[in-house]
Amino acid sequence: MPTARSERGSSGQIVMRAFFRLLVVVIVSGVTGCTSVSYYAQSVKGHLQIMTARQDVGKLIEDPSTPKALRARMASASAIRKFATDKLALPDNNSYRSYVDIGRDSVTWAVFAAPELSLTPRTWCFPVFGCVPYRGYFSRKSAVETAVELQGQGMDVYVTGITAYSTLGWSSDPLLSTMFSEDETYLAGLVFHELAHQRVYVHDDSAFNEAFAVAVETTGVKKWLRATGDTAALRRYEAARRRKAEFLTLVSQTRDELTQVYSNSGTSEQKLAAKTAAIERLRMRYRHMRDRRWGRYRGYDAWFASPINNAKLAATSVYSDQVAAFLGLFDLCSGDYIRFYASVRRIGALDEAHRAEALAAADSCNLTDQM
């Protein structure tokens, strides 16, 4: 695998290295079946198209022909990228040092699925990345077609657009135009989150990986905003995090209700009716919270206006259930990212049955040394 320095050479050579790595992985994994082959083909093709369109961030900043607005965004992204390495101990490589305008609102679309009467998400397993509770597509049409197929099998499905993704260091992931859809705080969160996946990644445990990355994202953004002296943005971010926590509490309450419904005796028709009632209560509680506590802040209206089902509820839990435990461990490590990553890595090395338990029970940064 080439070093970060050598990857600053010919972009064509870099792309071909990445392409052949992915292609070899697919071949040696023994992928069979038309569906599997076509799926991997679209994945490789979509990623390759992005990689071939990369532009160096530094050159965009220096080029006088670069539009002023784009130059400003690149300068901000460059500062965020440097902060990620210097202050958050995130990988110092070529990821997020190039830029691609992909010309659409989402870079990929993820399909989540769960049984009609269960909150356990379906998982798909892939070479290198392990098993995850979603399937990603570079084409929205393909994602919707898969969702329709899964619905035909009696599954609840949820399709959502994705603004960034990580290849875990297999290739130099670029900044994407989709990552600039909101403000600088949003961009910083995405960069910190995706680079965190390169620092620690545990196969077949998306809940662990995503919660860890969210913890790095959250602490990193706060540190970034304090460093830049943007107190107004910090207040907005902390208010948004509080609303997010309250939203997740509502979702968790409904998931608990549905878990009870699905485990109880009764006919499928009775359980489906109870499911519908629980989801309607969720919407009612949200409206009450929005209007009474949030001053009619409507940032989550779209989430509640679209269909809510087991797949959507399960997808939300993947990114949230263990975040508090990771933030607690970060505090135990006195905000030292190097120590935090080491502790997370040691916990991640445990078998899945003990991993979440060890994380929740940690009472010191170095507790896992004895595990």
Token pair 């071909």: residue: 16
Q: Which residues contact 306 (CB under 8 A, 6 or more apart)?
A: none
Q: What is the mean pLDDT of residues 39-51?
A: 87
pLDDT tens per residue, range 121-150:
999 988 767 888 999 999 999 999 999 999
Contact 358, 371 (CB under 8 A): yes
**Where do the domains of the chain lie?**
6-184
pLDDT of residue 35: 52
Exposed / middle / buried, residue 161 (Cβ in 10 Å: 0-12, 13-18, 19+): middle
Please name every residue paired with 175 in a beta bridge, in sequence order, or none if there are none. Answer: 99
What DSSP designation does 94 have?
S
Compare 136 and 169 and report the one with higher pLDDT: 136
Residue 11 has pLDDT above 70, yes or no: no
Residue 33 has pLDDT above 60, yes or no: no
> What would the two tokens of residue 258 be?
């549905």
Other beta carbons within 10 Å of 342: 17
pLDDT band at 318 (very low <50, low <70, confident <90, very high): confident
Give CA separation, 297 vs 34, 188, 205, 241, 254, in Å.
47, 23, 34, 13, 21
pLDDT of residue 309: 98
pLDDT band at 23 (very low <50, low <70, confident <90, very high): very low
Residue 262 has pLDDT above 50, yes or no: yes
Residue 368 has pLDDT above 60, yes or no: no
Residue 18 has pLDDT above 60, yes or no: no
**Rg of the Cα trace of the chain?**
21
Q: What is the mean pLDDT of residues 253-278?
A: 96
Q: What is the mean pLDDT of residues 7-28?
A: 41
H or E, element range at 59: helix 57-62
pLDDT band at 4 (very low <50, low <70, confident <90, very high): very low
> What would the two tokens of residue 264 be?
């109880």
Residue 369 has pLDDT above 60, yes or no: no
Nearest by Cα to 122 from 306, 315, 252: 315
Q: How many helices (H) and strands (E) does the chain have?
A: 14, 8
Q: What percent of the chain has pLDDT over 90?
A: 75
Q: How far is CA 144 from the centre of its chain?
A: 20
Residue 366 has pLDDT above 80, yes or no: no
Residue 12 has pLDDT above 70, yes or no: no
Bridging pattern class, strands 98-100 and 175-176: parallel
Q: What is the mean pLDDT of the chain?
A: 88
pLDDT of residue 367: 55
- Residue type (1 letter), 181: S
pLDDT of residue 167: 87
Contact 104, 176 (CB under 8 A): no
Exposed e or buried b per residue across 179-189, where buried means at least 16 C-beta atoms within 10 angstroms of its C-beta:
bbeeebbbbbb
pLDDT band at 321 (very low <50, low <70, confident <90, very high): confident
Residue 257 has pLDDT above 90, yes or no: yes
Q: What percent of the chain has pLDDT over 70?
A: 89
Residue 260 has pLDDT above 70, yes or no: yes
pLDDT tens per residue, range 230-245:
999 999 999 999 999 9
Residue 32 has pLDDT above 70, yes or no: no
pLDDT of residue 303: 96
